[in-house]
Copies of this chain bind each other. A is one copy, B any other.
């Protein structure tokens, strides 16, 4: 058996949106192996109730633990906002979500202490970003809004152009009057719409994407626990999906910025 530091990092998401986190990991930690699980048979999690999201998250994490990962990144905002305490109770290895790193970066970026947050309905209703930000700085004012159409828009590939801009304007124009100087993209799909979102705000806000912040936080944790892979070889990537949907390879390429080569179908037992 491999020594622990040579084991892969486990990443999971409700679907393939979490590949934006994998993309950031490859930049920050190029020597790490990555095992990804995407629960494409049961996506999206964003519209599901908290008990269901927790039940699915425990199954997803167990799948990765069975593949001997040294750490788990929850690359799903819905899971990070409702299931992280349960995950940490059930498993002993380091587990981080995308909420804390995103919240920290947003608080650091904001100068007027007024931050906007957008995400799926589950993420916004759960209020986890608000709690995480308030924990860091009680003075911060928060304007939160759910923007559910951004996910299917990114998956359709309509990330620029008049339709994307009009949907972004409909969701975000009310936020312009709220004097936010920083906008946190609270969903893994949203970085693909970053340019369109920036157009609505006309460069008046800093846009913080949690994916890169999560990758940097992962590096800090692996260093602290002496779990960085000592081998200086480009890391491998394995992708497990609970359903090989007709679109996964084209959407995956868009999110990862590279082809998904080693892809396997994985069954999740209830």
- List A residues at the B interface (Cβ < 8 Å): 40-43, 47-49, 52, 121-122, 125, 148-149, 151-153, 155-156, 158, 162-163, 166-167, 170, 243-247, 269-270
Q: How far is the CB of A120 from chain B (nearest CB, A)?
A: 10
Kindly state the separation between the CA atoms of A152 and B244 in the bound complex, as whole angstroms: 22
| Given A148-B156, A149-B152, A269-B270, A246:B166 Cβ within 8 A | no
Q: List 14 A-B contacts (CB under 8 A).
A: A40-B47, A41-B42, A41-B48, A49-B243, A49-B244, A52-B243, A121-B246, A125-B246, A148-B155, A149-B149, A152-B152, A158-B170, A163-B163, A269-B270
Copy total for this chain: 2
CB contact between A148 and one of B43, B152, B162 (< 8 Å): that residue:
B152
Q: Taking chain A's interface residues, is the majority helix, strand, or loop, or is none over half, making it mixed?
A: loop
Q: How far is the CA of A48 from the CA of B153 in the complex (A)?
A: 18
Known A48-B245, A247-B47; judge A162-B166 contact (CB<8 A). yes
Contact among B42, B121, B244, B270 with A247 in the assembled complex (CB-CB below 8 Å):
B121
> Cα distance A153–B122 when bound, in Å?
18
The reply to whether B42 and A246 contact each other, CB–CB distance below 8 Å, is: no
- Measured between beta carbons, the chain B residues less than 8 angstroms from A152 are 148-149, 151-152
